[in-house]
């Protein structure tokens, strides 16, 4: 097993905040499930076209360890988990990705370094907020990258919901690591369901929770929008690595389609001018803090 680098470790504390849904107080949690350091050229685009991808593999510098946030909503219709974080088995890359291609393993080893201990996995973190895995009603996936799906192993009994396009056309998904029982409910978007993004899939019955298309990082990448009584929250997956990238129009190197990402950034900004919006990407060091202090995108 690769030696974990504990010295450069950063601790991201779990956060909890309370929002109102139709007058009812509802808790929203950010749980930190391991950390990941990515090549600087992975987080921030360096070079044009395919050169930016080659530069990810050739670059030597890594970012500091970034959080892997998993979001939990104690929704009146049931407890909802958004993405599932990492797991400790994944640290032994040759074993974990044994059935993947040589190139897949090479790419993974040269793009990021993950750090997680078994007691940091999602089941333990849920216990810390007094939620048992069995209490979870629904798991929503933004996309199929390993640091978002490696905690799926805890949810064989739950409904898992994700966008149909991402399921049918995943980018860089280690399909051999998916649980054998993995059969998500894959959904199509409905037109005219939301301003700016236009298409959406209403997840909750009262349509305060929606899956929205935010392509670019992967072609089928989605985010989750929670409409509270006072403001909205976008759980943005890997739409960007941090909030500043959206504000400055800075591209991540890890992108399948830069033009789609540009449009997705515009949509976030346009939406945030209509409704106050907290923007929460999975690997943003400050996302937990923004959720706790209710800081808005614009
Ligand atoms: Zn990703």
* Phi and psi at residue 20, to the nearest 5°: -115, 130
Classify residue 298: in a domain, yes or no. Answer: no
Expressed in angstroms and rounded, the spacing between residue 149 Cα and the centre of ligand 1 is 10
Domain count, the chain: 1
Expressed in angstroms and rounded, the spacing between residue 201 Cα and the centre of ligand 1 is 21
pLDDT given at position 17: 98
Expressed in angstroms and rounded, the spacing between residue 204 Cα and the centre of ligand 1 is 25
pLDDT given at position 61: 87
pLDDT given at position 4: 46
Expressed in angstroms and rounded, the spacing between residue 156 Cα and the centre of ligand 1 is 22
Strands 222-227 and 232-237, by their bridges, are antiparallel
Strands 15-21 and 136-140, by their bridges, are unpaired
Element (H, E) at 23: none
Expressed in angstroms and rounded, the spacing between residue 219 Cα and the centre of ligand 1 is 11
Classify residue 84: in a domain, yes or no. Answer: yes
What CATH number did the domain enclosing 273 receive? 3.60.15.10
Strands 24-38 and 190-194, by their bridges, are unpaired
Expressed in angstroms and rounded, the spacing between residue 207 Cα and the centre of ligand 1 is 26
CA separation for the pair 174, 143 (Å, rounded): 12
Classify residue 44: in a domain, yes or no. Answer: yes
Residue labelled with tokens 């991402």? 166
β-sheet bridge partners, residue 187 = 163
The residue ranges of DSSP E strands in the chain, in sequence order, are 15-21, 24-38, 66-75, 78-82, 112-115, 136-140, 159-163, 185-187, 190-194, 198-202, 209-213, 222-227, 232-237, 277-281
* Phi and psi at residue 132, to the nearest 5°: -90, 150
Instruction: Kindly list the averaged pLDDT for each block of 10 residues, start to end, along the chain of length 298.
Output: 49 96 98 92 73 70 94 98 97 95 89 94 98 98 97 98 97 95 98 96 97 98 98 98 95 88 98 98 97 97
The domain containing residue 159 runs over which residues? 15-178+188-292
Expressed in angstroms and rounded, the spacing between residue 24 Cα and the centre of ligand 1 is 33
Classify residue 268: in a domain, yes or no. Answer: yes
Expressed in angstroms and rounded, the spacing between residue 145 Cα and the centre of ligand 1 is 5
Q: At 167, is the secondary structure helix, strand, or coil?
A: helix
Which DSSP string corresponds to 200-218?
EEE-STTSSEEEEE--SSS
The number of helices, as runs of H, and strands, as runs of E, in the chain is 10, 14
* Alpha-helical regions (H) of 17-163: 40-43, 49-58, 93-96, 102-109, 122-128, 146-149
Classify residue 5: in a domain, yes or no. Answer: no
Residue labelled with tokens 């950034």? 265
How many CA atoms does the CB half-sphere of 33 hold within 13 Å?
A: 31
Q: At 262, is the secondary structure helix, strand, or coil?
A: helix
Classify residue 4: in a domain, yes or no. Answer: no
What pLDDT, in 10s, does the model give residues 253-290?
A: 788 999 999 999 999 999 999 999 999 999 999 999 99
CA angle 256, 176, 124 (to 5 degrees): 90
């Amino acid at each position: 097993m690769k030696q974990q680098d504990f010295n450069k470790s950063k601790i991201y504390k779990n956060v909890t905040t309370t929002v109102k849904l139709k007058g009812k107080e509802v808790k929203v949690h950010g749980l930190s499930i391991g950390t990941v350091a990515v090549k600087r050229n992975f987080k921030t685009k360096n070079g044009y076209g395919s050169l930016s991808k080659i530069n990810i593999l050739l670059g030597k510098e890594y970012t500091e360890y970034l959080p892997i946030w998993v979001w939990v909503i104690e929704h009146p219709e049931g407890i909802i988990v958004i993405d599932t974080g990492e797991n400790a088995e994944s640290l032994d890359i040759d074993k974990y990705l044994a059935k993947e291609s040589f190139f897949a393993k090479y790419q993974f080893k040269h793009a990021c370094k993950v750090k997680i201990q078994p007691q940091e996995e999602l089941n333990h973190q849920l216990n810390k907020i007094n939620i048992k895995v069995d209490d979870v009603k629904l798991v929503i996936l933004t996309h199929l990258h390993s640091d978002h799906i490696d905690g799926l192993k805890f949810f064989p009994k739950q409904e898992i919901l994700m966008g149909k396009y991402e399921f049918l056309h995943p980018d860089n998904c280690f399909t051999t690591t998916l649980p054998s029982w993995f059969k998500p409910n894959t959904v199509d978007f409905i037109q005219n369901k939301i301003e700016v993004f236009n298409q959406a899939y209403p997840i909750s019955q009262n349509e305060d929770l929606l899956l929205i298309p935010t392509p670019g990082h992967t072609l089928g990448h989605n985010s989750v929008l929670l409409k509270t009584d006072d403001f909205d929250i976008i759980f943005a997956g890997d739409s960007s690595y941090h909030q500043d990238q959206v504000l400055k129009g800075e591209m991540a190197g890890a992108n399948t389609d830069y033009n789609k990402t540009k449009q997705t950034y515009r949509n976030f900004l346009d939406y945030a001018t209509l409704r106050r919006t907290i923007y929460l990407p999975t690997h943003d060091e400050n996302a937990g803090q923004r959720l706790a202090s209710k800081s808005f995108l614009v």
